[in-house]
Amino acid sequence: MQAIFQKAIENSMSYNDYLNLIDQKINENSSTGHEQNEMLTDFTKLNRARMKRLDKTQQILPELENITKQISEKQVWIVLTESWCGDAAQNVPVLQKLAEINPLIDLRLVLRDDNDELMQKYLTNGGKSIPKLIAVSADLDKELFTWGPRPATAQIEVKRLLDENGGFNEKVKEGIQIWYNNDKGISMQNELIELLKNAAN
């Protein structure tokens, strides 16, 4: 795995570089990823606006902030993502906030479609669901924990919406957004608290 992590990091970018790439793609009327269509471009534009808002408004729970500050050895947080992914737009800004709290967290974003070898190791129920956070030690020798693609409570809501609507459509998309708006990043942060506690033990 060390070689796969190393290759992904060589292909990775910082959060700011990721935002700049998304802005570039919007200017080109496209999105990241190997598939290109109008819907993915529209999602990219929508997600960029959401990320801009979350960068300004996202609050971090005091308990999570304290645990994050207590990290005493460098960790590399590799995140598989794409510009069109709604869950990534909601959750990646939270990870950036945590990286800002503790400089020992090196947040590296990698595009799913350009890093298939890594993605294949971290499938969710056989699918390439993103975002996917893989936290590893500084020497890339040890996986510390993983998270993603969305909080467990959001996953339950998505399943309910899909069952109710007979598949993905506008109502499902709207329902997921309402869930995120109401949750305000709390569910994800509570899950990260538990993961960081376990990783510290």
What angle, 0 to 180 degrees and rounded to 10, lies between the N-to-C axes of helices 86-101 and 170-183?
20
pLDDT at 201: 76
Q: What is the DSSP string of 23-56?
A: HHHHHTT--SSS---HHHHHHHHHHHHHHHHHHH
pLDDT in tens, 26-65: 999 999 999 999 999 999 999 999 999 999 999 999 999 9
**CB-side neighbour CA atoms (13 Å) of 110:** 27
* Furthest-apart CA atoms within the chain: distance in Å: 47
Q: Give CA 24 to chain center in angstroms.
A: 20
With a cut of 50, list the residues of the chain below it in pLDDT.
none
pLDDT at 52: 98
* Domains of the chain by residue range: 2-149
- H/E element holding 154? helix 152-165
CATH fold of 2-149 reads: Glutaredoxin (3.40.30)
Dist CA 64 CA 98 (whole Å): 8
CA distance readout (Å), 66 to 51, 71, 144, 194: 24, 9, 18, 13
pLDDT at 170: 87
